Structures are given as C-alpha cells and as structure tokens.
C-alpha cells in the first residue's frame, strides 16, 4: 500500500508591505518541497486580505520590481481561511511582516488546532517588535545597541535622547521588516520627517544609534525534530561601491549593491561565539523551528545583536537558505527538516 503523502499548505502573500517578498519566497519554496513526501497546497493571501487557493503553485506572475504578486490573478480560487486549511497536516506560514510574522496567523492556527512551521504566538510577536525584542535580549545578557522607543504619542526625541544616541541614527517602524520604512538621519532637522515615514508603517517607532564601521553578520538557526537547536556558519554582507550607505530594501531585493561572504571570513573563536550567541538569542525569545539572527561586529571586535527574524526570506538571494547550504544542508533537506520539526511538535500550546 502506498503511504499517503503529508499535505503541506504553504501560505504566502499577505496584507503587509512585504507582500511581494513573501510571494518571491513562495516561488522558491514551492518547487523545492520534496514531491515524494509532500503534497503541496499553495494558499495565497491578497494585499486586501482575501484568501485564495492556487491552482498552479508555480504560475506566479511578475509584479512591481519583478517580484511575484497576487494582484489581478485569474488562476486563483477565492476561499475562506478555514476551508483553505482544511484537511492539511501542516501549514508553512511563509508570511513576512505584519499580519503574518507577528503572531497573528500563528494565533489563528493555534485556535484551529493546526500544526505549523516556525515560532509560536509569543515568540513571533516579540521578535517582530524591535523594541520588546531588544528588551528581552538585554534581560538575557546579550549586547544590543543604544536605542530609544517612541510611543504612539511621541512626535520627536527629547534633547537628552538625542545626546544619548548621537548622530547618525536609524529611524524604524518597530514592527516591520525588509528595511521597509527605515530612514538614516544624519541631521536632526530631518528627524521628524523620518519619524513620519516610519509611522506610515507602524504607530510604534524605534530610533537606533548607528554603529560606525561595522561588519554585518547573519546566522541561520534551525530546530531539528529531536529538539536540537543549531546555528549555521555566519554569512557577511559587504557593500559594493563607496556610495552604498546601508542595507536598504533596494539593496536587499532590487539591485546588486551588496555581496555576501558565506561563510564569513572570521576567526574560528569569533565564529564559535556567534553561533553560541545566535542559539542563545533564539531561546531567549522562546523561538521554535527557525530564525535568522543578525549581528554587528564592531572595529573593537565587539558583537552586538541587531535583530531576530522569525520567518526570514526564502528568496534565491536570501541569507537563511544560503547560510545552511554553506553549512551542509541543502534547500530541500532544510524545508523537510522544518516540516518534520513542526509535525514532531504537533498542535497546541508551545
């Protein structure tokens, strides 16, 4: 008797500003799930929040910036969320940003008793909120950079806060990713406009002190079905050209202004420290399944945890799968591990 394949619903798109990035991730993931073991059910969410069942998981048409989009699709069948996830064994919520990576869809799946890939409600929400993530990491004894949290009523920084941070600073939405809504401010006269831009994406804003002349290091963290948690070899992002100031959205997804060294060219002791700190950060936020932990390495060889991403990109240029490939786990094996870890955990409270 032929054994039934595990039915995996890959949910992608979503209502956040990272909709197109999620679609690009899905385009990479869908054909690399092991067809001998998994029956794949592609489920798209439009920018307006409508759920749709895809009849052809590989037919993603090009949208703005050559990124796939669900807008104006004719080969998707509209469906209710409960119907879309009916009779699946596990959900791979391949959503980035708000209304997906922030604990919202995780809560929906928990309520429905559905098994899913990745961190739970609390870890997803805490890691998505840069302010609370930094507070938790600090409480665990991990080093983070100087920052100021602006609540919903604050429109600017006080003089004391400006002196504490110094210039330049980065103004960010507290709960957004892919560098969406971020501004680098080198003159305080530009601060209020930067806060306004960040607030277009999130009422909560964080202002971070820039760390000069840092090396940007990323590590992928993976949980295995037996409960082991391991970090990949580190990857380093390097700017190509003197006019590249920082790793913004265009640098990540549009142009070729950054290159990556995988593995990063680091001393063995620094690599070992990074891998240990990445796992510590993963556990500090009570993550499960996967995360990507981003670090700054200063000129004084000090390590600073920048942020933790609970559903990192899976696009062809994303660091998470590339870091694991360099560590010895190919893309299909990585995806299989994520699904099997979710199944081993099962539904219910984490």
pLDDT tens digits, residue range 297-340?
999 999 999 999 999 999 888 999 999 999 999 999 999 999 99
Taking residues 159-165, what's their average pLDDT?
98
Distance of CA 182 to the CA centre of its chain: 16
What SS3 state is found at 51?
strand
What integer best gives the mean pLDDT of the chain? Answer: 88
Nearest CA to 28 among 348, 312, 340?
A: 312
- Which of 79-83, 111-115, 219-223 is the least confident region? 79-83
**C-alpha span between 116 and 121 (Å, rounded):** 11
Our answer to whether residue 178 is catalytic in this structure is yes
Query: Considering only the top CATH level, what class is 147-209?
Result: alpha beta
| Residues 172, 184 contacting (CB under 8 angstroms) | no
Nearest CA to 180 among 2, 7, 342, 20?
A: 20
Residue 242 has pLDDT above 80, yes or no: no
Our answer to whether residue 309 is catalytic in this structure is yes
Marked catalytic residue, from 18, 102, 208, 248: 18
Our answer to whether residue 294 is catalytic in this structure is yes
Distance of CA 98 to the CA centre of its chain: 11
| Residues 182, 171 contacting (CB under 8 angstroms) | yes
Marked catalytic residue, from 208, 309, 320, 345: 309
Our answer to whether residue 292 is catalytic in this structure is yes
| Residues 185, 171 contacting (CB under 8 angstroms) | yes
Our answer to whether residue 83 is catalytic in this structure is no
**C-alpha span between 81 and 51 (Å, rounded):** 6
Marked catalytic residue, from 97, 294, 320, 345: 294
What pLDDT is attached to residue 53? 79
Marked catalytic residue, from 16, 17, 178, 291: 178
Confidence band for 258, pLDDT divided at 50, 70 and 90: confident
Q: How many CB atoms lie within 10 A of CB 275?
A: 19
| Residues 106, 81 contacting (CB under 8 angstroms) | no
Residue 31 DSSP one-character state: G
pLDDT of 124-139, one tens digit each? 999 999 999 999 999 9
Residue 242 DSSP one-character state: T
Our answer to whether residue 236 is catalytic in this structure is no
What pLDDT is attached to residue 244? 52
| CATH H-level superfamily of 127-143+212-343 | ATP-grasp fold, B domain (3.30.470.20)
What pLDDT is attached to residue 74? 53
DSSP for 158-205, please give it: -HHHHHHH-SSEEEEETT--TTTT-EEESSGGGHHHHHHHHHTT-S-E
Marked catalytic residue, from 44, 103, 120, 313: 313
What pLDDT is attached to residue 50? 83
What pLDDT is attached to residue 331? 97
Our answer to whether residue 253 is catalytic in this structure is yes
What pLDDT is attached to residue 82? 79
- Which of 46-60, 158-172, 258-272 is the least confident region? 46-60
Domain range list for the chain: 6-116, 127-143+212-343, 147-209
Q: Same CATH fold, 127-143+212-343 and 6-116?
A: no
Q: Which two tokens stand for residue 16?
A: 């956040």
Marked catalytic residue, from 101, 129, 202, 307: 307
**C-alpha span between 235 and 263 (Å, rounded):** 5
pLDDT of 183-207, one tens digit each? 999 999 999 999 999 999 899 999 9
What pLDDT is attached to residue 1? 55
The residues, any chain, with a CB within 8 Å of residue 249's CB and separated by 6 or more, are: 178, 179, 180
The residues, any chain, with a CB within 8 Å of residue 269's CB and separated by 6 or more, are: none
What is the number of H-type helices and E-type strands within the chain? 11, 15
Our answer to whether residue 56 is catalytic in this structure is no
Nearest CA to 270 among 229, 247, 236?
A: 236
Cβ-count burial of 137 within 10 angstroms (0-12 exposed, 13-18 middle, 19+ buried)? buried
Residue 56 has pLDDT above 70, yes or no: no
CA 280 vs CA 33, 138, 201, 223: distances in Å? 29, 12, 30, 13
Marked catalytic residue, from 20, 292, 320, 345: 292
Query: Considering only the top CATH level, what class is 6-116?
Result: alpha beta
Residue 178 has pLDDT above 90, yes or no: no
pLDDT of 101-130, one tens digit each? 999 999 999 999 999 999 999 999 999 999
Taking residues 61-80, what's their average pLDDT?
50
What pLDDT is attached to residue 316? 84
Residue 26 has pLDDT above 90, yes or no: yes
């Amino acid at each position: 008797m032929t054994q039934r394949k595990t039915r995996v619903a890959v949910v992608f798109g979503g209502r956040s500003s990272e909709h197109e990035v999620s679609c690009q991730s899905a385009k990479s993931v869908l054909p690399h799930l092991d067809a001998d073991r998994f029956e794949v059910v592609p489920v798209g969410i439009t920018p307006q929040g409508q759920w749709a069942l895809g009849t052809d998981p590989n037919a993603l048409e090009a949208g703005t910036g050559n990124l796939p989009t669900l807008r104006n699709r004719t080969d998707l069948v509209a469906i209710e969320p409960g119907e879309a996830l009916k009779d699946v064994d596990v959900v791979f919520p391949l959503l980035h940003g708000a209304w997906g990576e922030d604990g919202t869809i995780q809560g929906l799946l928990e309520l429905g008793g559905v098994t899913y890939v990745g961190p739970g409600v609390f870890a997803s929400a805490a890691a998505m909120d840069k302010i609370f993530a930094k507070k938790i990491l600090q409480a665990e004894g991990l080093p983070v950079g100087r920052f100021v949290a602006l609540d919903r009523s604050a429109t600017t920084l006080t003089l004391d806060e400006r002196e504490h941070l110094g210039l330049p600073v980065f103004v960010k939405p507290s709960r957004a990713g892919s560098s969406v809504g971020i501004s680098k401010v080198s003159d305080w006269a530009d601060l209020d406009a930067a806060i306004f831009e960040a607030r277009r994406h999130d009422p909560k804003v964080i202002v971070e002190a820039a760390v000069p002349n840092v090396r940007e290091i990323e590590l992928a963290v993976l949980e295995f079905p037996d409960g082991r948690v391991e970090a990949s070899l580190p990857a380093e992002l390097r700017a190509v050209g003197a006019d590249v100031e920082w790793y913004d959205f265009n640098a990540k997804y549009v142009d070729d202004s950054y290159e990556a060294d995988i593995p990063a060219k680091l001393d063995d002791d620094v690599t070992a420290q990074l891998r240990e700190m990445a796992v510590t950060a993963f556990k500090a936020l009570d993550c499960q399944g996967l995360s990507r932990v981003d670090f700054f390495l200063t000129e004084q060889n000090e390590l600073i945890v920048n942020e933790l991403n609970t559903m990192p990109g899976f696009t062809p240029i994303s660091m998470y799968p590339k870091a694991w490939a360099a560590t010895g786990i190919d893309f299909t094996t990585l995806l299989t591990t994520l699904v099997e870890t979710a199944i081993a955990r099962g539904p219910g409270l984490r």
